[in-house]
Amino acid sequence: MKLYEKLAKDIESQVRRGVLRHGDRIPSVRQSSQHHKLSITTVIHAYLLLESKGVIESRPQSGYFVRLTPADAVNGAANELVTSKPIAVSAQVDVSRLVLSTLRLIGAESAAPLGSPYPDPKLFPFDKINRYAYNIGRRKTQWGVTDELPPGNPHLIRQVARRYLENGVSVDPNEIVVTVGATEAINLCLQAVAKPGDTVAVESPTFYAMLHAIERMGMRAIEVATHPREGIDIGALSRILDTRRIAACMVMPNFQNPLGFLMPDEKKRELVKLLEHHDVPAIESDVYNELYFGDAHPTPLKAYDTKGLVLHCASFSKSLTSAYRIGWAIPGRYRDQVEKFKFLNTLTTPSIPQLAIAEYLENDGYEHHLRRVRKVYAQQANLMAATVMRFFPEGTRTSHPMGGYVLWVELPPDVDSMKLYQLALQQGITVGPGYMFSTTNSYRNFIRLNYSYTWSPEIEKALITVGKLVSACMR
């Protein structure tokens, strides 16, 4: 086999296995030449061969893309998730018991972590950050509470603001409040804009940390129809805002958990404009913003905020280390309230973790680390989705994540995800039951899967086993 034929066969194999999906851009001629150590002429011959077989197509000024045939389009449409339906206001929110028990079982070391909400720690530079922390502790032998008071360590705050600037967004460092992870940031922001008994609009399905915050403060949630690729239905939200009082809107525009979508920029502008019209604050969780699969960093909702109504929350837990629990809020006009509640609720954020991360950001290759993680996640997202569609029964649908590390799976209607969850645990496998992502039973036949863990025969075997259990639940 000639070199160009072998390259063409390898690329075609990736397409057939689902590593490269229809519509995905493949590496440029120059990139493939460098990566495979082949001449540009050889790569061009390989790409021409793939074009002649209908595997890829060339788009002027854009590059080469996996070709979407009419038959593929039909099959893809059959496997697409659909927009969720609006749900009535909940009388109360109570998903915390289910989530806590689920997380405890997911944390078992012997269990296959398909249901874990946490990224694979093996991809993180934990040892490097630990060395920074150790050296900081040795340099400074005396610590006082004033070193840890809100808004946080100035060195870390500068590095966070600099990171936003590098990604094309200018933020005021004086607006940043450091928190114990993004969860605390979300809770503080909600506390700053709403009170017990208020109604808060959320996406459907929504990340359970949002529901926990609402539950903790004695509020009610109203779930808004959400498109699996474009995010919250702005028309549906507008109708809700016209008919009832909403204290806040909680959203994840970038790589939402569990759907994984990236809200288009025009939709983000439209959402901010709508909320500004009604003077309703938006609490934005942007914890996955660094884990994008495309060519450009996503724009946060905060970038379109002109009235200080967007309370932006993020952390390093999903992109750098989950062990140190360092997050922050950029709360707009509510900055003073958030800082006050931070002081009243937890008083401080430990200094050494703040300084260790700040020194890593300043001195080490954060962007290099992120590029590696993004590449791994993008490949494993395709692998997991392709494996699910191959081994799960007919009627299964999956999300199409644009970033992050979770896959949302719709199972056939008669499958109960809690029953599946229990059966999987008996096989030493965890899954995230859909009940955790709503205040009702609307997602009883859905599960969330984690694809951050290194793809291995064990992970693949666990996924195939879950597919068999899904089939068993249908009998």
Q: Give the domain ranges of the chain.
A: 3-71, 77-83+368-473, 126-363
The strand pairing partners of 56, in sequence order, are 66
Please give the single-letter amino acid code of residue 85. Answer: K
Work out the average pLDDT over 170-197.
95
77-83+368-473 in CATH: which number? 3.90.1150.10
CA distance 37 to 110: 41
Query: Under DSSP, is residue 213 helix (H, G, I), strand (E, B) or coil?
Result: helix
CA distance 12 to 288: 31
Band of pLDDT at residue 70, cut at 50, 70 and 90? very low
pLDDT of residue 19: 57
The answer to whether residue 81 scores a pLDDT higher than 90 is: no
Q: Do 98 and 417 contact (CB within 8 A), yes or no?
A: no
CA distance 258 to 406: 6
pLDDT of residue 145: 54
CATH architecture for segment(s) 126-363 = 3-Layer(aba) Sandwich (3.40)
The percentage of residues in the chain with a pLDDT greater than 90, rounded to a whole number, is 68
Does the structural domain 3-71 have CATH classification 2.60.40.10?
no
Q: How many helices (H) does the chain have, and how many strands (E)? A: 16, 14
The answer to whether residue 147 scores a pLDDT higher than 70 is: no
- Most confident stretch, 5-19, 333-347, 432-446: 333-347
Q: Do 403 and 260 contact (CB within 8 A), yes or no?
A: yes
From residue 181, give the alpha-carbon distance in Å to each of 108, 286, 287, 321.
Answer: 23, 12, 10, 11
Q: Do 293 and 377 contact (CB within 8 A), yes or no?
A: yes
Band of pLDDT at residue 17, cut at 50, 70 and 90? low
- Residue 62, both tokens: 């854009």
Contacts of 179 (CB under 8 A, 6+ apart): 185, 188, 313, 315, 327, 328, 329, 342, 349
Q: For all residues of the chain together, what is the average pLDDT?
A: 90
Please give the single-letter amino acid code of residue 361. Answer: L
CA distance 147 to 107: 33
Q: Do 425 and 454 contact (CB within 8 A), yes or no?
A: no
pLDDT of residue 22: 74
CA distance 132 to 153: 15
Please give the single-letter amino acid code of residue 207. Answer: F
The answer to whether residue 108 scores a pLDDT higher than 60 is: no
**pLDDT tens per residue across span 299-352:** 999 999 999 999 999 999 999 998 999 999 999 999 999 999 999 998 889 999
Residues recorded for the chain: 475
56's enclosing H/E stretch is strand 56-59
Query: Under DSSP, is residue 164 helix (H, G, I), strand (E, B) or coil?
Result: helix
From residue 445, give the alpha-carbon distance in Å to each of 134, 136, 411, 441.
Answer: 47, 49, 5, 9
The answer to whether residue 68 scores a pLDDT higher than 80 is: no
Query: Under DSSP, is residue 227 helix (H, G, I), strand (E, B) or coil?
Result: strand
Owner of token pair 């249901």: 115
Work out the average pLDDT over 243-247.
96
The pTM (predicted TM-score) of the whole model is: 0.83
| Lowest mean per-residue pLDDT among 94-103, 108-117, 170-179 | 94-103
**Bigger pLDDT: 73 vs 276:** 276
The per-residue b/e assignment along 367-384, b for 16 or more CB within 10 angstroms, e otherwise, is: eebbeebbebbbbbbbbb
CA distance 298 to 32: 26
The answer to whether residue 53 scores a pLDDT higher than 50 is: yes
Strands across the sheet containing 177-180: 177-180, 326-330, 310-315, 282-285, 248-251, 199-204, 220-227, 231-232
The answer to whether residue 72 scores a pLDDT higher than 60 is: no
Q: Do 196 and 206 contact (CB within 8 A), yes or no?
A: no
The answer to whether residue 91 scores a pLDDT higher than 60 is: no
Rounded to the nearest 10°, the torsion over CA 303, 156, 291, 236 is -40
pLDDT of residue 73: 46
pLDDT of residue 320: 95
